[in-house]
């Protein structure tokens, strides 16, 4: 999503809106940074019989083979994506200047609109203060003057600009993007191992374990 032009909104106090918005943003950042982070840990209890223990060794060999095959598939996939990246890179590098030019133009429009927004905001706030001062000079209470303020002094949203700056493509960056989209290092080896473990008579219990921002 790119630059968003400010639009008219319903009448409200802009000072309160900005304060409330800042409070919401800071609160959400604080809560997200302090929220506990969990992972699932597994407690494996081996079987008690010799046959079961021998069976577990077979599960371990299966896990090792699965991991090796998974790593090999990931490596092969990575090589394939690097080859694909080499084919795509010339076209992406050719498009980069145009994307950068479009981004710079959008950024310039945003900066101009932001200047105009701030000018109108300052003018509106100045009108607002003149109204309050005039109201108070007539021996009225400040709270009464604010509550009887007849119109919204600035009914516009602040312009936003969230268009990401284009990054010059390189073989490494394009390869990494393709690899992230098309290659996986998760082959389900551990889940297969746990199934094998229980089939041998062992027990597997899962536990939700806090690893960050834990509450003692």
Q: How many helices (H) and strands (E) does the chain have?
A: 5, 2
Cα separation, 98 vs 209, whole angstroms? 49
Most confident of 55-64, 134-143, 149-158: 55-64
Q: How far is CA 150 from CA 15, 59, 137, in A?
A: 16, 77, 17
Better-predicted residue by pLDDT, 1 or 28:
28
Percent of the chain with pLDDT over 70: 77
At residue 140, the pLDDT reads 63
pLDDT band at residue 187 under the 50/70/90 scheme = very high
Q: Residue 166 pLDDT more than 50?
A: yes
pLDDT digits (tens, 9 = 90+) for 198-211: 999 999 999 888 88
103 in Cβ contact with 129 (< 8 Å): no
At residue 135, the pLDDT reads 78
Question: What average pLDDT does the chain have?
Answer: 83
Closest CA to 131 of 118, 154, 150: 150
The pTM of the whole model exceeds 0.75: no
pLDDT band at residue 144 under the 50/70/90 scheme = low
Least confident of 46-60, 75-89, 146-160: 146-160
Cα separation, 175 vs 177, whole angstroms? 5
Q: Residue 108 pLDDT more than 80?
A: yes
Q: Residue 69 pLDDT more than 70?
A: yes
At residue 38, the pLDDT reads 87
């Amino acid at each position: 999503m790119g630059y968003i032009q400010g639009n008219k909104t319903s009448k409200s106090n802009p000072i309160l809106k900005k304060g409330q918005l800042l409070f919401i943003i800071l609160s959400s950042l604080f809560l997200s940074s302090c929220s506990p982070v969990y992972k699932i840990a597994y407690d494996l209890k081996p079987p008690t019989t010799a046959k079961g223990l021998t069976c577990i060794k077979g599960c371990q060999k299966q896990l090792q083979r699965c991991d090796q095959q998974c790593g090999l598939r990931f490596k092969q996939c990575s090589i394939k994506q690097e080859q694909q990246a080499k084919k795509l890179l010339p076209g992406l590098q050719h498009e980069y200047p145009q994307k950068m030019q479009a981004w710079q133009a959008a950024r310039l429009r945003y900066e101009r609109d932001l200047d105009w927004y701030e000018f109108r905001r300052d003018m509106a706030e100045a009108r607002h203060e003149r109204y309050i001062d005039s109201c108070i000079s007539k021996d009225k209470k400040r709270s009464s003057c604010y509550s009887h303020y007849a119109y919204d002094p600035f009914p516009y949203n602040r312009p936003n600009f969230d268009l990401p700056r284009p990054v010059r493509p390189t073989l490494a960056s394009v390869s990494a993007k393709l690899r992230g989209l098309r290659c996986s290092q998760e082959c389900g080896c551990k889940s297969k191992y746990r199934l094998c473990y229980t089939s041998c008579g062992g027990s597997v219990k899962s536990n939700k374990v806090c690893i960050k921002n834990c509450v003692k």
